Structure formats: C-alpha cells, structure tokens
C-alpha cells in the first residue's frame, strides 16, 4: 500500500489549493476521477467576494453573509471567513492569479445581496478558469503525486479513524488502497443530481456519500441553491449566465418583454438568488412558458463584451448577440449549501477525515449562500485545515451543539411502481419532486423511490455504477432533509409550509448510525 501524509480527493480549487499548502508539510496525493482540469471551479464566472475595497470592511461583509444565510449561519465561521479573506486573496495574487485591475488596483464589482462592490474577477467572467489553470500549473510543477481517472470508492477506517482511501481505476476497473495520515475530501457538489444544472459532469455528490458511509455527519442538505439564470435553448448545453450580469444592470423580462421582478420583491433583479429563482418560476407559470429573458441590450456594447467575454462569445456561437437581443434563461441547480459537517478547522466527527469546498458544510452559507462566497470559503478553510494539521493534533471530534437535530435515514414503504434506476430517471425525479418549490406529497414520492433504489443498489465495479450509487445516497439525504424541515427558509421552499418558523432555526443533521 502506497503511503502519503495527505490524500486529497478532488482536483478543483479546493483540492489544488489545499494540496499546494500540504506539500509544505509532507507528501501529498491527489486522486481525481477525471483529469486534473475537470471541476466546477472552471465554470465559476462571477468571482470571489472579499472586503478589500475602500468603502468595505470585514464587518460589512459579515453582515451581508449573515443576512443571506437566513438565520442558519455559523457566526464564528462567518467571522473567520470575512476576517481572513484579504490574506487569502493575497495568497492567490502571489500564486499568479491574474485578477482584473482598474487604475492599478484590483477591480471590484457588485452582485446581488452585497451592499458594496466586493467581487474580484479575472478575465471578466472567466475567474474560475484563470484560478484553476494557475493552480493546476503550479501543482504539475511540484512533486505532488496526481493520479487521474481514479475514483475514490471508500474511506478506510481503523478503530474509528480515517486511515486511507480505496479507489477504482476508471480505465481498468481495478481497485487500489492508499494509506494517509490525513484524508481531505474536496470532491465538489452534486449538481448532476438534477435534470437542469450548471455543474460539470463530475459533480455527482461523491464526497457526501463517501463521508456518510464512513460515519461522518451530513448537515443542511435541504438547502440546494438554484441559479436563476441558466441559458435555456434547445440543443444547447446548459450554460451559466452569471449573477454579475444582473449586478451590472441586466433586466429580467418575461416572454412578452415585460420587466417583472419588481412584482415579487422591492429589490428587483438584485434580490437573493432563491427569491429571483422562485420569481422566475412563478412568472413562467403565469405566462405558460419554460423560460424568461435577460436583457442587457441597454448597456454599452463595450461594457458587455469586456465584462462578460465568455458569455458574449458562447451566446454568439449559438446564434445570439446579447448586445442586440435578450437571452432566454431559466433556473438550474447550482450549489449545495449543505454537506459534510465540519468545524472551523475543517474537521469532521471522524478523526483524520477533513472536508473543504462545496462538499463541506462549514456553516458560512446557512440556508442561502451569498454570491461569490464559495471560492473564498475554500481558501479560508483549506488554509485552516493545514494549520490544524501542522499542530500535530490527533483530530478533534466536532461537538454537537444544541442547535443541531440528529437523524438517521428511516426505513421507507416500498412504492407500488418503482422506475428503473438510471441517472436520467434520478435526475428527473429530483428536478420534479425535490426542486425549487417542494411539498410533502412530492417529497414523500421522492424519498420512497430513492429508498427503494438504495436497497437495490448493485455492487459498484466501475465509475458509472459508483457515481450512480453516490447520487442515490446524496439525493436521498437531500430529499429526507427537505421532508423533515416543515417551513420555508433560504433556498428551501415548501408550498405547504410557505412561512419561516422560529422553531426551525436549527440544523438537520444525518448520521449513518
């Protein structure tokens, strides 16, 4: 068995950044089921939030994040996030990330629910790609061991402590075990659980399923963020139309050309994402259509093409000049606020097992992520994982605060008609039954079907079957949590419980036993 000080599972910004920090303290292995460049980070257009502007402060950023989280943020974690943000941005600058500048200073822009401009970007709307390319080049130039096309299938435990990883070679189907002193999950999110999503094909909830099966606690899974504006056009792959487009003055119109957001909220297009996504759904129902339009034709052509070059080029390649015509958009699954429960040092309740990035639940997002806080979260808490590791701690079990409500997955009644388990059927089930607007009936249908699929899961022998197994487990955790929370809060909306309730100001946490 090959042995390493650190094993990173995943090669997005979380995996790469953490690996670069870890190599200063020991030997490092990155396992990634695709290529090192395959990740959601590459698709991140908006940028990174950080309070570095003249009229900004960590306190102001803290207040905006708390407000967006709708009562469920971990205030200690948010304070750490906003206080340490400037230093982590400096780390990226030192690594060579080419942030856009204006008059010699890093340029800052506005996104929804931020009270001041604080979004850093690179290449206009190519922030994620620039960061990913910079970090992957750095990793390839080091002695970090990278094994591509290698899918982690199990966290290996010894006396309750994570001691290694079992992984499947996606090309041969053979398994190999790797030993590690610290196992760090950086597998990203689970957007592929939904029929319409903005995520890379690798986002199948792998880290959630791995951690859950190893005994880790999984929190806040009912809070799945749907991005309001994904390009919606037949035969064109889903493509994110960045939050920043509305931040720069983009207007949402219905298919009749009418501006509608002020019908639903006084904040208009700059309302939080969950409000905008639901408003679009209501407007589509009202107009009996499957999309709305985002309009930037009133903005200067030079602003649009320089600020959003990727969006402009992609749409132009598919027959739409966004400087001349509005673009059809619809909501799509985008970001998982919940995940593997960690403390402020990235530790799970399983000693030796850490999590960072979208697969982790640090508590900074609460019920609804503030735009562009996700990449910042990676930088801040990945750094803290390595600081904790440097202290030679044997691992601190996460304490269970009174605000957590713990559950195990219940046995469910077998439904009369069980659809065949395929990735496509699972995606349709999640979209139709556990989507933007939910209720008890649709959620019960989802949990019963997912429970039946889980009982009948075949042995996992290769990538496709392992991913499908992970999707079933992760999908069930989302659905069961959504069924338990009988209120509407943040990104979780129940039409049968449309109001927020103070008695639900706690976290729903699942554990295997």
Please list, in sequence order, all residues whose beta carbon lies within 8 angstroms of the beta carbon of residue 403, skipping any fewer than 6 positions away: 505, 506, 507
Q: Do 211 and 204 contact (CB within 8 A), yes or no?
A: no
Q: What angle in degrees, to the nearest 10, is found between the helix axes of 75-95 and 374-390? A: 90
Residues 6+ away with beta carbon under 8 Å from 158: none
Question: Is 273 noted as a catalytic residue in this protein?
Answer: yes
> How many other C-beta atoms are found inside a 10 Å radius of the C-beta of residue 496?
12
- Rounded to whole angstroms, the Cα distance separating 448 from 445 reads 5
Per-residue burial over 365-396, b if 16 or more Cβ lie within 10 Å, else e, is: bbbbbbbbbbbbbbbbbbbbbbebbeeeeebe
Catalytic residue among 79, 118, 246, 273: 273
Q: CB count, 10 Å around CB of 482? A: 27
Say how far apart CA 25 and CA 8 lie, in whole Å: 14
Residue whose C-alpha is closest to residue 290's, from 244, 231, 334, 246:
231
Residue 329 near residue 239, CB atoms below 8 Å = no
Q: Which of 284, 299, 283 is nearest to 250 (CA)?
A: 299
For 347, phi and psi rounded to 5 degrees? Answer: -85, 140
To the nearest 10 degrees (0 to 180), the angle between helices 75-95 and 127-140 is: 70
* Catalytically active residues, by annotation: 273
């Amino acid at each position: 068995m090959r042995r390493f000080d650190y094993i990173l599972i995943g090669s997005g910004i979380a995996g790469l950044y953490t690996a670069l920090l870890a190599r200063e303290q020991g030997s490092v292995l990155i396992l990634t089921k695709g290529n090192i460049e395959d990740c959601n980070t590459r698709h991140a257009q908006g940028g990174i939030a950080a309070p570095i502007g003249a009229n900004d402060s960590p306190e102001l950023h803290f207040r905006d994040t708390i407000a967006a989280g709708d009562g469920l943020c971990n205030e200690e974690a948010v304070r750490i996030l906003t206080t340490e943000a400037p230093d982590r941005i400096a780390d990226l600058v030192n690594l060579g990330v080419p942030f856009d500048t204006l008059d010699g200073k890093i340029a800052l822009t506005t996104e929804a629910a931020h009270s001041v401009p604080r979004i850093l970007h690179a290449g206009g709307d190519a922030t994620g790609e620039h960061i990913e390319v910079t970090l992957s080049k750095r990793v390839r130039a080091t002695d970090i061991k990278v094994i591509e096309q290698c899918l982690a299938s199990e966290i290996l435990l010894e006396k309750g402590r994570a001691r290694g990883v079992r992984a499947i070679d996606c090309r041969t189907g053979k398994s190999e075990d790797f030993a590690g002193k610290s196992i760090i999950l950086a597998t990203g999110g689970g957007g592929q659980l939904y029929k319409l999503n903005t995520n890379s094909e690798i986002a199948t909830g792998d880290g959630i399923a791995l951690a859950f099966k190893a005994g880790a606690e999984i929190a806040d899974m009912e809070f799945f963020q749907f991005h309001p504006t994904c390009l919606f056009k037949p035969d064109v792959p889903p493509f994110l139309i960045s939050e920043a487009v509305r931040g720069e003055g983009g207007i949402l119109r219905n298919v009749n050309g009418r501006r509608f957001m002020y019908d639903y909220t006084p904040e208009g297009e700059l309302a939080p994402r969950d409000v905008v996504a639901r408003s679009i759904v209501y407007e589509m129902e009202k107009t009996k259509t499957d999309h709305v339009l985002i309009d930037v034709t009133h903005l200067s052509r030079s602003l649009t093409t320089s600020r959003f070059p990727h969006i402009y080029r992609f749409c132009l390649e598919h027959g739409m000049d966004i400087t001349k015509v509005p673009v059809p958009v619809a909501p799509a699954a985008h970001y998982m606020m919940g995940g593997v429960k960690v403390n402020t040092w990235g530790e799970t309740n399983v000693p030796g097992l850490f999590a960072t990035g979208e697969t982790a639940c640090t508590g900074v997002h609460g019920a609804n992520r503030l735009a562009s806080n996700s990449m910042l979260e990676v930088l801040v808490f990945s750094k803290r994982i390595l600081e904790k590791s440097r202290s030679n701690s044997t691992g601190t079990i996460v304490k269970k605060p009174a605000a957590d409500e713990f559950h195990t997955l219940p046995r469910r009644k077998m439904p009369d008609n069980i659809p065949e388990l395929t990735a496509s059927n699972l995606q349709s089930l999640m979209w139709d039954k556990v989507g933007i607007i939910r209720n008890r009936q649709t959620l019960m249908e989802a949990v019963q079907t997912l429970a039946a699929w889980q009982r009948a899961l075949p042995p996992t022998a290769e990538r496709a079957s392992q991913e499908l197994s992970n999707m079933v487990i992760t999908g069930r955790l989302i659905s069961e949590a959504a069924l338990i929370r009988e209120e509407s809060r943040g990104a979780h909306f129940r039409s049968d419980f449309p109001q927020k309730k103070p008695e639900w100001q706690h976290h729903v946490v699942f554990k295997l036993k």
